[in-house]
Amino acid sequence: MPTPPVLRLASASPRRRELLASIGVTVEVQPADLDESRLPGESPESFVSRLAREKAEAGHVGSRLPTLGADTVVVQGDEVFGKPQDRVDARRMLEQLSGTRHRVLSAVAVIGPRGLLECRVATTVVMREIESVEIDAYWDTGEPADKAAGYAIQGRAAIFVSRLEGSYSAVVGLPLHETSTLLQAQGIALWAGPG
């Protein structure tokens, strides 16, 4: 007998669904269809937090369940890296990140009995020098095509990361420590689902 959902997830991300399942939270998925453009003059921090809030609000419409919206962006300086448009764009991103450090900002918003609760987490990722042939080989795996900044830390790009300061799960897409605090504040029991 499947466990009924205790949370609506306003995201189509399979990674967020898997992360929530890892802490026993069963979800119904209701992706929010939003314009995810950055506003003129908007800081990366404000941008990622606004998107998480807007996703939660859009996803919560008509829901009897608490709703979680989240967004994760890769930032270097003031530049926010989106998903690569093609091989050339992915190469540009990975060459820019190669041998440097960057920040991953992950914001979470949960709407429930206590209203809107939210948080934002910053994680620093340090990448080793990435060879040109490695970038080509990595693109050919198909993995970077739908990932912010063209890499997935939980996948093959893990070999490019020499150090991480902060939350690993936030880089994957959802900071579990902070998310669990928000969920519990909204009355959602963790590890309630089947193990």
CATH numbers and ranges of domains, the chain: 7-185 (3.90.950.10)
pLDDT higher than threshold 60 for residue 129: yes
**105 beta partners:** 73, 122
Q: What percent of the chain has pLDDT over 90?
A: 89
For residues 25 and 3, the answer to whether their CB atoms sit within 8 Å is no
For residues 145 and 89, the answer to whether their CB atoms sit within 8 Å is no
**29 beta partners:** 9
**Euclidean distance between CA atoms 178 and 180, whole angstroms:** 5
Q: Average pLDDT, stretch 93-114?
A: 97
pLDDT higher than threshold 80 for residue 191: no
Q: Which pair of structure tokens corresponds to residue 179?
A: 């998310």
pLDDT of residue 78: 87
Categorize the per-residue pLDDT at 192 as very low, low, confident or very high, splitting at 50, 70 and 90. Answer: low
Q: How many CB atoms lie within 10 A of CB 13?
A: 18
The residue annotated as part of the active site, out of 33, 35, 71, 86, is: 71
**Euclidean distance between CA atoms 11 and 58, whole angstroms:** 11
pLDDT higher than threshold 60 for residue 155: yes
Mean pLDDT, the chain, whole residue set: 94
Q: Which pair of structure tokens corresponds to residue 39?
A: 């506003």
For residues 121 and 166, the answer to whether their CB atoms sit within 8 Å is yes
Q: Are strands 27-29 and 7-9 parallel, antiparallel or unpaired?
A: parallel
Categorize the per-residue pLDDT at 194 as very low, low, confident or very high, splitting at 50, 70 and 90. Answer: very low
Q: Average pLDDT, stretch 57-86?
A: 94
pLDDT higher than threshold 80 for residue 19: yes
Q: Greater confidence, 130 or 78?
A: 130
Categorize the per-residue pLDDT at 98 as very low, low, confident or very high, splitting at 50, 70 and 90. Answer: very high
pLDDT of residue 159: 97
Cα 37 → chain centroid: 16
For residues 8 and 66, the answer to whether their CB atoms sit within 8 Å is yes
Could you confirm whether 89 is annotated as catalytic? no
Helices 132-140, 87-97: crossing angle, 10 deg rounding = 130
pLDDT higher than threshold 80 for residue 193: no
